[in-house]
């Protein structure tokens, strides 16, 4: 199905390079931050860290993990995620199940959900579920 | 008689359904519909010590003030501009990327690129704000790279026009991976025989893309684009709030950050509510219009 012309092979090569570059670009800031986090504080402050730790030290991690406030907020985040997901799934699935069956009042309930959604947030066409209300 | 028994039997059979949906309805009522009464605050002069019911009624004063406030026009224009740029970029870039990614034959490479590319979507703007402030700062890695090439360092987060550019580009960087997946899925749904027919007719790969792939994607693009219309006033509070600073208020302030700063931090809750009400009203009209358009032209059904 693909003509293996010389033009197409050039395009393929160029395409591969471009896609790899973009993919790397997406992950580069994270690598940089990871490298800074593992560097010694003097090197980090002096902006000398690029993509590999300078003066390896895990001291930042040790201090963060020993901080009770951080641990507390980590716990809170976990609680929120777990409880939030469970609760929202229970409510959503039950409502979805009911709305999927034809019965009296289905139209009313559908509009009930829909109007609140239209007034409060915007519709999510790309289904990514990000909350930007 | 017959009718009465039928309806009571029907009710008994449907009662479990009503009970099942009851928790969701109650949740909506309490958390979403009841707080709407707070909108009345937009028409009152809310003073915390007087409380909600005793604050004096001022009618349209806050809305009038909002329209005559000198910065309002600028803020609304910023919101509109940034949101439009974001919507446009967030539609074009994922499509192009999906088209390019579709051409890759090696499955491993395709999968790894996809994974790497939708990673930023899962980071919150609070975290990314910190990362971007570090990277794009004056002595940050990007500016060091620019200096290394020989260009002047750019004040990405401090210069007005560059700020808008940074906001849009970083949003695209964050979200394009996720949207690419949607478009890739749509691309794999295109009938293979269309490509073969085009090939027999002598179409090059590029022509195939233009005449087979893009027309097949048009319904998806139309629906996504139309539904984004309702989003035109949502320029991303999370992102701008975490990235902005007083230097860029003129170009970077959007309605939501404006309401936050002037309304909530200054304590003028009534004014904040009035502006929020205005924004919600406009968004509502746009969303209804968008849904109608998508219904007519894109076959998009809600229920």
Assigned domain for B7 exists: no
Residue A129: pLDDT over 50:
no
pLDDT at B77: 87
Q: List chain B residues with CB under 8 Å of A95.
A: 20-21, 24
Instruction: Find the residue in B nearest to A119 (Cα).
Output: B284
Q: Is residue B8 part of a domain?
A: no
Nearest CA in chain A to B101: A19
Using the beta-carbon criterion (under 8 Å), do B205 and A12 form an inter-chain contact? no
Question: Who contacts B56 (Cβ-Cβ below 8 Å, separation ≥6)?
Answer: B44, B45, B50
The alpha-carbon gap from B247 to the nearest alpha carbon of chain A, in Å, equals 24
Asked if B14 reaches chain A (Cβ–Cβ under 8 Å), the answer is yes
| Through-space distance between the first and last CA atoms of chain A, rounded to whole angstroms | 46
Mean pLDDT for all residues in chain B: 83
CB distance B103–A114 less than 8 Å? Answer: no
Asked if A104's CB is within 8 angstroms of B131's CB, the reply is: no
Task: Give me the pLDDT at residue B300, please.
Answer: 60
Here the tokens at position A18 are 């471009």
**Can you tell me which residue has the tokens 């949207």?**
B179
What is the reported pLDDT for A133?
A: 34
Residue B10 · residue A104 · CB < 8 Å: yes
What's the gap in Å between the CA of A73 and the closest CA on chain B?
14
pTM for the model: 0.80
Q: What is the pLDDT of residue B298?
A: 63
* Counted domains in chain B: 1
DSSP at A7: H
In terms of Cα–Cα distance, which of B144, B170, B36, B21 is closest to A104? B21
Mutate to test the interface with A, among B19, B92, B141 (most CBs of A within 10 A): B141
**CA B230, CA A133: separation in Å to the nearest integer?**
12
Confidence label for A88 from pLDDT (cuts 50, 70 and 90): very high
Testing the interface with A: which of B24, B148, B241, B256 to mutate, by most A Cβ within 10 A? Answer: B24
Cβ proximity of B240 and B252 under 8 Å: yes
Sorting pLDDT into bands at 50, 70 and 90, what band is A2? low
- Specify the 3-state DSSP secondary structure of A110: helix
Q: Evaluate whether residue B216 is within a structural domain.
A: yes
> Averaged over A20-42, what is the pLDDT?
88
pLDDT at A130 over 70: no
Decide which of B301 and B213 is more confident: B213
Token pair in block for residue A132? 């930007």
Distance CA B197, CA A1 (A): 11
Nearest to A132 among B24, B131, B236 (CB): B236
Cβ-nearest to B21 among A26, A98, A132: A98
Percent of chain B topping pLDDT 90: 12
Average the pLDDT over each of A116-120, B30-34, B84-88 and give the range with the smallest value: A116-120
- Do B258 and B73 contact (CB within 8 A), yes or no? no
Taking contacts as CB-CB distances below 8 angstroms, the residues of chain A near B132 are: 29
Number of cross-chain residue pairs from A and B with Cβ atoms under 8 Å apart = 138
Residue B126 has pLDDT above 70, yes or no: yes
ipTM of this complex prediction, to 2 decimal places: 0.76
Residue B101 lies in a domain: yes
- Judge whether B35 lies within some domain: no
Question: Which CATH number fits the domain that encloses residue B200?
Answer: 1.10.3720.10
Question: Would you put residue B236 in left (φ > 0), alpha (ψ -120 to 50) or beta?
Answer: left
| pLDDT at res. A131 | 41
- Cα angle at B64 between B59 and B66, to 5 degrees? 120
Q: Is residue B32 one of the residues assigned to a domain?
A: no
Question: pLDDT-based confidence at A118, cuts 50/70/90?
Answer: low
Q: Which two tokens stand for residue B185?
A: 């899925």
Average pLDDT of every residue of chain A: 81
A119 touches B at CB < 8 Å? yes
CB-based contact B180:B115 (threshold 8 Å): no
Q: How far apart are CA A133 and CA B153, in angstroms?
A: 35
Residues 10-49 of A with CB under 8 A from B: 11-12, 15-16, 18-20, 22-27, 29-30, 32-33, 36, 47
Average pLDDT (B117-139) is 88
Range of the domain at B173: 61-298
In angstroms, rounded to a whole number, what is the distance separating the alpha carbons of residues A17 and B260?
A: 44
pLDDT in tens, B245-259: 888 888 888 888 888
- Among residues B183, B180, B211, the alpha carbon closest in space to that of B195 is found at B211
> Which tokens hold the place of B61?
């004063």
Q: Which of B10-24, B95-109, B217-231 has the highest mean pLDDT?
A: B95-109
- Residue that the structure tokens 């960087």 belong to: B173
Q: Confidence class of residue A119 from pLDDT cuts 50, 70 and 90?
A: low
Task: Give Cβ neighbours of residue B39 (< 8 Å, ≥ 6 apart).
Answer: B273, B277
pLDDT in tens, B163-215: 999 999 999 999 898 889 888 888 888 888 888 888 888 877 777 788 888 88
- What pLDDT, on the 0 to 100 scale, is given for residue B4? 53
Residues 79-138 of B with CB under 8 A from A: 97, 100-101, 103-105, 109, 112-113, 116-117, 119-121, 131-132, 134-135
Report pLDDT for B40: 82
- Separation of alpha carbons A126 and A5, rounded Å: 36
Three-state SS string across chain B, please? CHHHHHHHHHHHHHHHHHHHHHHHHHHHHHHHHHHHHHHHHHHECCCCCCHHHHCCECCCHHHHHHHHCHHHHHHHHHHHHHHHHHHHHHHHHHHHHHHHHHCCCCHHHHHHHHHHHCCHHHCCHHHHHHHHHHHCCCCCHHHHHHHHHCCCCCCCCCCHHHHHHHHHHHHHHHHHHHHHHHHHHHHHCCCHHHHHHHHHCCCCHHHHHHHHHHHHHHHHHHHHHHHHHHHCCCCCHHHHHHHCCHHHHHHHCCHHHHHHHHHHHCCCHHHHHHHHHHHHHHHHHHHHHHHHHHHHHHCCCCC
pLDDT at A5 over 60: yes
Average pLDDT over residues A1-14: 77
| A88: nearest Cα among B24, B122, B30, B302 | B24
Residue B34, pLDDT > 60, answer yes
Q: Which residue did the predictor score with more confidence, A94 or B292? A: A94
What are the residue boundaries of the structural domains of chain A, listed by start?
1-66, 68-127
Confidence label for A76 from pLDDT (cuts 50, 70 and 90): very high
């Amino acid at each position: 199905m693909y003509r293996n012309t010389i033009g197409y092979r050039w395009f393929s090569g160029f395409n591969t390079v471009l896609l790899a570059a973009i993919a790397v670009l997406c992950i580069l800031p994270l690598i940089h931050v990871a490298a800074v986090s593992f560097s010694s504080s003097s090197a980090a402050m002096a902006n000398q860290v690029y993509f590999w730790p300078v003066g390896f030290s895990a001291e930042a991690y040790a201090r963060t993990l020993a901080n009770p406030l951080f641990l507390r907020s980590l716990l809170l985040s976990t609680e929120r995620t777990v409880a939030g997901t469970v609760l929202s799934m229970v409510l959503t699935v039950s409502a979805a199940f009911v709305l999927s069956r034809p019965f009296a009042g289905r139209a009313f309930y559908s509009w009930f959900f829909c109007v609140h959604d239209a007034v409060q947030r915007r519709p999510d066409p790309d289904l990514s579920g990000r909350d930007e209300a | 008689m017959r009718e009465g028994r039928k309806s009571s039997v029907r009710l008994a059979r449907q009662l479990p359904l009503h009970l099942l949906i009851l928790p969701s309805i109650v949740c909506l009522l309490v958390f979403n519909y009841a707080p709407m009464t707070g909108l009345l605050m937009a028409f009152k002069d809310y003073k915390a010590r007087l409380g909600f019911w005793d604050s004096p009624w001022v009618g349209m004063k806050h809305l009038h003030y909002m329209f005559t406030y000198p910065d309002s026009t600028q803020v609304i224009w910023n919101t509109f501009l940034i949101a439009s740029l974001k919507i446009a970029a967030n539609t074009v870039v994922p499509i192009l990327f999906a088209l390019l990614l579709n051409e890759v034959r090696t499955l491993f490479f395709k999968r790894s690129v996809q994974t790497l590319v939708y990673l930023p979507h899962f980071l919150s703007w609070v975290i990314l704000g910190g990362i971007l402030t570090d990277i794009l700062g004056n002595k940050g890695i990007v500016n060091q790279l620019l200096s290394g090439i020989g260009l002047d360092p750019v004040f990405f987060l401090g210069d007005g026009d560059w700020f808008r550019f940074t906001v849009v580009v970083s949003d695209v960087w964050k979200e394009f991976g996720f949207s690419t997946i949607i478009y890739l899925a749509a691309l794999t749904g295109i009938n293979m025989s269309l490509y073969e027919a085009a090939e027999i007719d002598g179409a090059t790969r590029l022509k195939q893309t233009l005449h087979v792939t893009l027309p097949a994607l048009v319904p998806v693009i139309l629906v996504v684009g139309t539904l984004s219309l309702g989003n035109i006033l949502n320029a991303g509070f999370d992102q701008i709030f975490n990235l902005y600073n007083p230097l860029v208020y003129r170009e970077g302030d959007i309605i939501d950050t404006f309401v936050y700063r002037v309304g909530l931090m200054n304590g003028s809750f009534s004014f904040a509510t009035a502006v929020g009400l205005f924004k919600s009203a406009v968004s509502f009209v746009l969303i209804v219009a968008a849904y109608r358009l998508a219904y007519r032209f894109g076959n998009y059904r809600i229920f």
